[in-house]
Amino acid sequence: MSFDLASLVPDYIQRFEPYTPSPPDDVLCRRFGVGQLHRMNNNENPIGPPETALEALRNYPPRDASVYPSGDCFHLRRALSERHGLEPSQFLVGNGANEVIAFVIKAFCGPGDNIVTADKTFAVYEWVAEFSGFQARLVPLKGFAFDPEAMALAVDERTKIVFVCNPNNPTGTYWDKTRFRNFMDLVGPEVVVVLDEAYAEYVEARDFPDGLSMLEDYPNLVVFRTFSKMYGLAGLRVGYLAASETMVDLIRRTCVVYSVNGLAQVAAQAALGDEQHIPNTLRVVRESRDYFCRELDRLGLGYQAGVANYVMVKMPMSDTLVYKRLMAAGYMVRPMTTFRYPNYIRVSLARLPVMEGLVGSLEQLLSAGKVVA
Amino acid sequence: MPATSRLEIPARTAFLPIAITFAEHAAKGFGLDSESAGALALATEEVVAALCGLDDPEMEIKLDARDGVYYTDLTITIPYTELALGKLNLTAAIDSEEDLDNIGWMLASRMVDSFTIDHQGKRSTRFRLRKHRQYPEFEGEASMPAPGALLVDVRPATGHDLVLFAQRMLQTGKPLLNRWLMDPPARLAGLVESGEYEVLLGYSDRGDPVAGIIIDRSFPELALLDGPHLIEQPDSVRHRLFHAVLERLARTSLTAVVGETLTEVPEEEMELLGGREFHLENGETLKTRAYYRALREEHGGMVWGTPWLEEFLRGEFRRLCLPRDLQMWQDLPERATPSVVSCTFRRHRSECRLRPVLAGHDIAENLAAHLRLAREEGYRNVTFELDLGQPFHLAFAEPLRDIGFRPGVLVPGAGKGDILALGARS
C-alpha cells in the first residue's frame, strides 16, 4: 500500500525548492580539474579567525565534547554585553544568523501575515518567510540601494517585519544615520524592523549607523550581527540578535536551546577580545578593494564596490558561464543571477596574491572571446 | 485548480461505450467544440479497445479528463504488467505496412493534436490524448505600434495585450518557429491562463506591446523560451527581455532556461548548444539554434556514455565547460524482456520524441519499427532523447547509431543527468 507523503505537506512547502549547497572543495577540485580552489563566493574573512579565537580553539578540552554547551550562551552574551554596553538579556545567540532570522519570523508572523524586504538582497529573509507560509513582499532596489519610501509604502496592516540589510549584500550600499532614522519614523512603531548588520564591522564610513546604539530609541528595532564575516568563524556558525529586553523575551520563545555548540561559544567569546583583528582585516580588505577596482577599470569592466568585503562585477557574458570558467582556473565566485542580477558576479575580497590571480583569469576569459559553437 | 473528471472501468469491451461517452461529455464540458470532442472520443475508443484486446479482463482502466484551458487531456492509465509490456510499445505487432491500420493507438494519435505513451517505472503505463481548443482565426489588420516607439517596461502580460501582440507578430510576416503559440492570436492568452506558460511583454512609452518572450513553465527543471520577438525594435531589446526572464525565474526551482530560435543567439546572454534543421509540416525547412542559460552554479557530476558517443560528449563538456566524470556503460548479459520506448507525437510541430523506458532484447528492431512508423505517419522531426544520468539509456546508443541517428544537442542537467538529443537522418 503506497501513500503519497506529499499530501501531508502544505502547498507552500511543496512549492519551495530546497537549497543545494555546493559540494566540498575536494570534490569540486576533482570535478573541475584544479589542484586548489580559492573560495571567493561567501564573503569570508580573508585573514581567517582572530589569533585569540585560534588559541581558544587549540585550548578547548576535547573531553568537553561530551557535555552539553550552555543552552543560552551565558558567557558569550556577557562578553557581548561588555563589548556593546547593553544588558546580557538583550542578546539572543543562534546557530548562525540564518537561525536568528527564523527565530524572528516564527515569533511575529501568523497566517496571512507578510514581511517586507528588497528584491535584490540576502535571500534567506525571503526563503524563511516563504517556506513558513508567509508572503515576502519584495521591493525593487533604487539604483543599488534599499528604497526607504517604497519599502514604507509596501507595509500594510498584515506586515509584521521589515528586513533591511545594512550594508546590503550583494550591492554593498548602506543607509546612513539620517536615512535610517527617517525610515524608522516613517514606518512607525507598529512593525518590527530588522537591521541586518552582518557586515557592519567592515564599514569605515562615519555616517554609518550603529544599530546597537539605537535600540533604546526604537523598541521595535532588532539588530542582527554575526561571527561568520569579520570574525572569521563561519565554519562554527554563530550569529546573534540584539533588541530591547521585551523584544528579546518575545523572540526567545521560538528559540531552540543548545543550538550553538560549545566550541563555537568559546571561540566567539575569545574573538571579541582580539583588538588587532578588525584593523588588520580592514587593512587587507582596503588594499584588495583598491587594487581590484583599479584592475577592473583597466579591463573596462563595470562594478559596484560598496563598503563591505565584496565587489559586484558586471560581466559582458553570462555569469553562470563565467562561474564555470573561473572554477576551472581555481577561483570560486558567486554568479548573481540567483540574486536577480544577471551577468554580475560577486567577488569576496581576498589577499593580494589571490586577487592578482583572479584578475589574470578574468583577463584571459575576456580575451578568449565569446562562446563558439 | 484545473477541472478534472475520472472514470474507472474493467478492461472489457462491454464497457467501451461508457468510456466513449465519458470522453465526449467531459471534452464538451471543458469547452471543446463538438467536432473536437468527437475526435477525442474516437481516439479514446481506439486506445481502450486496444487495451481490452490485451486479454486481461481483471485489469482496471482509469480515464482522467482534464481541462487545461487551451486543451483537454484524456489520460488513460493501466497498471504495469510484465505480460503486457511488449504489447504496450507503439509498434507492437507491426510486421508490415498493412498492420499499421490495425493498431489502435496509432489510429488514436491521428485524431488528436498530441499523443504520448509513457511509463511510470514498474507502476503504470499512461496514454495521454490531447485535443486543442479551437480559437477564432485572426482576420483583418492589427494596429501596429507608432514608428520609433521605445521600449520602457517589461512585465508579465495577460488577456487582450497578448492577443494584440500575437496579431502584430503575425502581421509582421516574420518566420516563426513555434507559430502555433500565436496563431490564432487568442491562443496565446489561453496558454497564459492555463498557468503552463508566462509571457513577458515589452511595452513602449505609450503602453503599447512592442516585444515579447514566451516562457513554457510546464517542466520541473527547465523553462523553455520562445523568442525574444521584436516588433520594430532595435536588437538591444533582446537583452532586456532575457534579463527580465532571468530575474523572474532566478529564485524558482528551475535550474536553467533553454530555447530554440531562428535568429542569432545573443552570446553575451546564452550558451549556444548547437543548431539543427527543423522541418515544418508544409515541407519548409528552418535552420534553428538552441541556446541555454544556467540559473545556478554548476557543481558537476557523473554521467554515462559509450565509446561511440565519447568523443562527442567530451567535446561538448569541454566547449560548455561542464565538469563531468564520464563513465563508460557496459551492456548486461542478454535480457529476456522486450524493450519499451515512450513516445510523444506533436502534430502541429511535425515532431516525434522518443525516450527509453526499459532496455530489452529487441532494442534494434524496436527502434527501427518506431522510426519507420514515425516516417509512415509523416512526422518530419524525429528525436531520441538519452538521459546520461540513467545508465540503462545507454543500451539504446549503438542501436540508434546503426539506424542513422546522430548526436545533436546536449542539454546540461535536463534530466537525472544531461540529456543528449539524437536526430534521425532523413
* Per-residue pLDDT tens digits for B56-111: 888 899 999 999 999 999 999 998 765 555 666 666 554 555 454 446 777 777 88
The answer to whether A13 contacts chain B (CB < 8 Å) is: no
Nearest-10 crossing angle of helices B34-52, B16-29: 150
CB A103 within 8 A of CB A92: yes
What are residue A136's DSSP bridge partners?
A115
Contact criterion met (CB < 8 Å) for A373 and B253: no
The answer to whether A12 contacts chain B (CB < 8 Å) is: no
Nearest to A154 by CA among A131, A196, A183, A179: A183
- Strand residue runs (E) in A166-306: 192-196, 221-226, 239-243, 302-304
Contact criterion met (CB < 8 Å) for B246 and A33: no
Q: Considering only alpha carbons, which residue of chain B is nearest residue A34?
A: B323
Nearest-CA distance B135 → chain A (Å):
32
- The 8-class DSSP code of residue A330 comes to T
Structure pTM?
0.89
Q: Which amino acid is at B213?
A: I
Judging contacts by C-beta atoms under 8 Å, the chain A residues touching residue B408 are none
Nearest-CA distance A38 → chain B (Å):
15
Contact criterion met (CB < 8 Å) for A28 and B297: no
Helix (H/G/I), strand (E/B), else coil: A296: helix
ipTM of the complex: 0.86
- The 8-class DSSP code of residue A95 comes to S
Cα B339 to Cα B64, B336, B352, B388, distances in angstroms: 27, 9, 18, 18
- pLDDT tens digits, chain A, 373 residues: what are they? 457 788 899 988 888 878 888 899 999 999 999 999 999 999 999 999 999 999 999 999 999 999 999 999 999 999 999 999 999 999 999 999 999 999 999 999 999 999 999 999 999 999 999 999 999 999 999 999 999 999 999 999 999 999 999 999 999 999 999 999 999 999 999 999 999 999 999 999 999 999 999 999 999 999 999 999 999 999 999 999 999 999 999 999 999 889 999 999 999 999 999 999 999 999 999 999 999 999 999 999 999 999 999 999 999 999 999 999 999 999 999 999 999 999 999 999 999 999 999 999 999 999 886 433 3
Cβ-based contacts under 8 A for chains A and B: 91
The answer to whether B284 contacts chain A (CB < 8 Å) is: no
Helix (H/G/I), strand (E/B), else coil: B362: coil
Helix or strand run (H / E) with residue B21: helix B16-29
Q: Looking at residue A284, what is its pLDDT? A: 98
Q: Considering only alpha carbons, which residue of chain A is nearest residue B324?
A: A31
Whether the upstream peptide bond of residue B184 has omega within 30° of 0, thus cis, is yes
Query: Which residues lie closer than 8 Å to B235 by C-beta, 6 or more apart?
Result: none
Distance from C-alpha of B215 to C-alpha of B191, rounded to nearest angstrom: 10
Nearest-CA distance A96 → chain B (Å):
22
CB B360 within 8 A of CB B352: no
Helix or strand run (H / E) with residue B45: helix B34-52
Distance from C-alpha of B182 to C-alpha of B169, rounded to nearest angstrom: 8
Number of Cβ atoms within 10 Å of the Cβ of B232: 15
Buried residues in B276-294 as b, exposed as e (16+ CB within 10 A): bebbbeeeeeeebbbbbbb
Contact criterion met (CB < 8 Å) for B297 and A335: yes
- Any idea what the Cα angle at residue A12 is, between residues A11 and A18, rounded to 5°? 115
The answer to whether A372 contacts chain B (CB < 8 Å) is: yes
Question: What nine digits make up the cell of B217?
Answer: 513553465
Model confidence pLDDT, tens digit, residues A196-235:
999 999 999 999 999 999 999 999 999 999 999 999 999 9
Question: What nine digits make up the cell of B3?
Answer: 477541472
**Interface test mutation site (partner B, options A11, A16, A28, A31, max chain B beta carbons within 10 A):** A31
**Interface test mutation site (partner A, options B251, B253, B318, max chain A beta carbons within 10 A):** B251
Question: What nine digits make up the cell of B187?
Answer: 491562443
Contact criterion met (CB < 8 Å) for A338 and B247: no
Contact criterion met (CB < 8 Å) for B251 and A126: yes
Helix or strand run (H / E) with residue B291: strand B285-294
The answer to whether B258 contacts chain A (CB < 8 Å) is: no
Distance from C-alpha of B122 to C-alpha of B141, rounded to nearest angstrom: 54
Model confidence pLDDT, tens digit, residues B269-288:
889 998 888 887 777 888 88
Contact criterion met (CB < 8 Å) for A372 and B319: yes
CB B64 within 8 A of CB B77: yes
Judging contacts by C-beta atoms under 8 Å, the chain A residues touching residue B298 are 320, 323-324, 327
Helix or strand run (H / E) with residue A362: helix A352-367
Judging contacts by C-beta atoms under 8 Å, the chain A residues touching residue B269 are 317-318, 342-343
The answer to whether A365 contacts chain B (CB < 8 Å) is: no
CB A229 within 8 A of CB A97: no
**Interface test mutation site (partner B, options A2, A13, A318, max chain B beta carbons within 10 A):** A318
Cα A156 to Cα A83, A139, B307, distances in angstroms: 37, 13, 62
The answer to whether A131 contacts chain B (CB < 8 Å) is: no
The answer to whether A337 contacts chain B (CB < 8 Å) is: yes
Q: Using H for helix, E for strand and C for coil, what is the string for B301-359? A: EEEEECHHHHHHHHHHHHHCCCCEEEEECCCCCCCCCCCEEEEEEEHHHCEEEEEEEEC
Judging contacts by C-beta atoms under 8 Å, the chain B residues touching residue A372 are 272, 319
